[in-house]
Structure 1
């Protein structure tokens, strides 16, 4: 049965998303990207969960895409990839054997990392494939993003494997059978992979990326890094009097570490691979405006053809931008039936397979329910107190009849009646509070526009309700406040704080706000 899924690749510069319809043949419906909030991601680790989650949620809202599942690709130097070669084993014996082998070199790794493997060999044959291990802290952060999006998380893959799957899915069959070097140039780090017959054999990270090239251009011309990035994306170096020789010099220096790693992988394959097969070429994946010059440079350096693979997208946006989402696409493609593939998600105990309903005010509902429960408990307690007081009054009346101590009993009766009046007063107050608490959720829900989100709720001893949240734009927030003020049950609404969040180009992303609401007291 066909279903819509989301592939997600969170990088230090861009968040890439792929909308995919899984079925008999997977279809890439659309790819989109959003700028990663500043300083929110470093070395593949999420440093600010709330801002990253909000950015992804905003993009999904803008494109009206509601996925049934989430598949994530991660790219970090802390992820380790190793080849595995074991004797013939039963399926259930493979994972314990791999863990045992890894613990010989990395004692205690099963307590700090999650391990997953991809097996290439067929059942009944010696086990060959790849094993991957990643720190649990990194995986937990991505799991928290999934929780914040309220989309069931189904798999966590690594960038090298996801990229290989996507490239092999779209490249011609004859090229898929070749031995190729995949070069993925990211913004702050890059990756060089050896792929043979559609199988990932070797993967290496390089802590250098496009930003080094842009910095060299910016320093040479005396411009900002953003200006250098725009010049690269639009290939407008000529207006800054930079010729091809200058660009080639920048490429040679900026990507020298990438070239060294390519050279090492070629040498590794040359001395350890089959003499009958040779590396057929380089498949390059990189950012906008860099492919033409970098592919020519690498082709000249290694005397190999340099190509790329572009995905087939039902609603294409831009060829270069669609290609940037290859890892996100690969993470969300349907797994190959009967084959063990990399999935770092199952070890996370806090992830549940069950689907999570989309609820815009989940936290607010939880707080209201707690307040309602407390109010109900107090209401019940005062009911019992009232019943006890009524019983005591009846007993006092019986004492008047039985012992005829009229004056003393009348005093007791008067005291009990005063206590009852006090209890009835407090009971009326709690009944009113329960009404306010239960009706407040309806008031907020009916008044809140679709582009305004509440993130927290609190109530002071004086009865002032404070709400904090995020608004997509100011007019919607104004409408929200105006609608609240028109409600007869609300005495006043005060916008206590509003802060605009800006992207790298100083464009407004959204607004963080805080509102204080004073509810009318009973009888006002």
Structure 2
């Protein structure tokens, strides 16, 4: 690979926008990163609603944090994204895309008109091929493409949150090994996502309402403080508040009840339909995963080892933000 081989990955969230500048190669390197506020009200469930405000924010951050790259990749997180397993008869390469579209149309007749679909083939034999398809609302994809058009920023790739998390996990957290299985739970501010990797391959993804803001709101009501004060207290491990672990567990149980239920349903589904021994590990990512006691709470609830994502192969200055930066890092990781 010659010339400028850096790619800037961007994850534009409802509240925060994350950047990761990666140098490509056999061992990708994180060269720079940044986390900045997203303009209030400019993004909703993955859709760019205020292009000018978001674009101004992007250009300012790229300049301030020296994140210039010839290629930009974005990752999209939205409840409207659908990921489905593919199990098709053996086909020639040029026949796969029409077959995927046909399969989707059987369940969702209007999807070809309303969604952009991509697919990834994992295995191909003489008889069958297996993989996944991902469908994202065209309105959301178009909002990114149109924002970057004529902006001076070269948008080269558009990816989705589940896939970027999977790539980052496989490259920086745990290289794929036969027999491995992990539930990656991305706890964002207002919406979370439950993803399953088996043998390093993403096979299932579900979005659910619920995130760090739900727990912060409970803390706000309990102590009569602002959301900003609640977030600061969380980041300090609640040392500034007189709260017992029992009270905190109660907040976690109420704030993450919908996420917990989705985790339970997913773990049960995998155990009964795919892996009799169940998922081996739960990995937490996203800004909503840094609540004190959350790992212990989920571990006790599901009787499965739980860890916040971390990596030994990244710069030290990135390590304490790695679990938040994972989608941006994965967007910059190229598989082509």
| TM-score normalised by structure 1 residue count | 0.61
1:77 paired with 2:79, answer yes
Aligned to 2:104, which of 99, 102, 105? 102
Q: Distance in 2 between matches of 1:33 and 1:52?
A: 14
Q: Distance in 2 between matches of 1:265 and 1:314?
A: 30
Q: Which residue of 1 aligns with 2:333?
A: 333
Q: Distance in 1 between matches of 2:258 and 2:129?
A: 33
Higher relative contact order (CA 8 A, sep 6+): 2
Aligned to 1:234, which of 229, 236, 257? 236
Aligned to 1:25, which of 9, 23, 27? 27
Structure 1 residues 150-179: Cα deviation after superposition (integer angstroms, max 9, x where no partner): 222221111011101101111234767411
Cα distance change of structure 1 residues 106 and 288 upon mapping to structure 2, 3 Å threshold: closer
Q: Distance in 2 between matches of 1:75 and 1:168?
A: 19
Structure 2 gap segments, 5+ residues each: none
Cα distance change of structure 1 residues 177 and 330 upon mapping to structure 2, 3 Å threshold: farther
Q: Distance in 1 between matches of 2:261 and 2:72?
A: 36
Report how far residue 335 of structure 1 moved: 0.3
Structure with a larger share of its residues in helix: 1
Contact 2:289 2:308 in 1 (8 A): no
Q: Which residue of 2 aligns with 1:298?
A: 298
Structure 1 residues 421-455: Cα deviation after superposition (integer angstroms, max 9, x where no partner): xxxxxxxxxxxxxxxxxxxxxxxxxxxxxxxxxxx
Report how far residue 316 of structure 1 moved: 4.4
Report how far residue 195 of structure 1 moved: 1.0
Structure 1 residues 188-233: Cα deviation after superposition (integer angstroms, max 9, x where no partner): 1000111101011111001111001001000110011111111111
Q: Which residue of 1 aligns with 2:262?
A: 261
- Superposed counterparts of 1:256-405, under 5 Å: 256-275=257-276, 277-287=277-287, 290-311=290-311, 315-335=315-335
Q: Secondary structure at the match of 1:240?
A: coil
Contact 1:46 1:138 in 2 (8 A): yes
Cα distance change of structure 1 residues 161 and 264 upon mapping to structure 2, 3 Å threshold: same
Report how far residue 103 of structure 1 moved: 1.4
Number of equivalences: 334
Cα distance change of structure 1 residues 245 and 232 upon mapping to structure 2, 3 Å threshold: same
Contact 2:309 2:322 in 1 (8 A): no
Cα distance change of structure 1 residues 177 and 13 upon mapping to structure 2, 3 Å threshold: farther
Q: Distance in 2 between matches of 1:118 and 1:264?
A: 25
Q: Distance in 2 between matches of 1:164 and 1:198?
A: 8
Q: Which residue of 1 aligns with 2:114?
A: 112
Structure 1 residues 330-388: Cα deviation after superposition (integer angstroms, max 9, x where no partner): 1111206xxxxxxxxxxxxxxxxxxxxxxxxxxxxxxxxxxxxxxxxxxxxxxxxxxxx
Report how far residue 58 of structure 1 moved: 0.3
- Superposed counterparts of 1:488-499, under 5 Å: none
Aligned to 1:8, which of 1, 7, 10? 10
Report how far residue 315 of structure 1 moved: 4.8
Cα distance change of structure 1 residues 239 and 325 upon mapping to structure 2, 3 Å threshold: closer
Q: Distance in 2 between matches of 1:155 and 1:289?
A: 27
Report how far residue 292 of structure 1 moved: 4.2
Structure 1 residues 441-487: Cα deviation after superposition (integer angstroms, max 9, x where no partner): xxxxxxxxxxxxxxxxxxxxxxxxxxxxxxxxxxxxxxxxxxxxxxx
- Superposed counterparts of 1:142-157, under 5 Å: 142-147=144-149, 149-157=151-159
Report how far residue 239 of structure 1 moved: 3.2
Q: Which residue of 1 aligns with 2:246?
A: 245
Q: Distance in 2 between matches of 1:149 and 1:318?
A: 29
Structure 1 residues 390-413: Cα deviation after superposition (integer angstroms, max 9, x where no partner): xxxxxxxxxxxxxxxxxxxxxxxx
Larger Rg: 1
Report how far residue 314 of structure 1 moved: 5.8
Contact 1:168 1:176 in 2 (8 A): no
Q: Distance in 1 between matches of 2:112 and 2:12?
A: 26
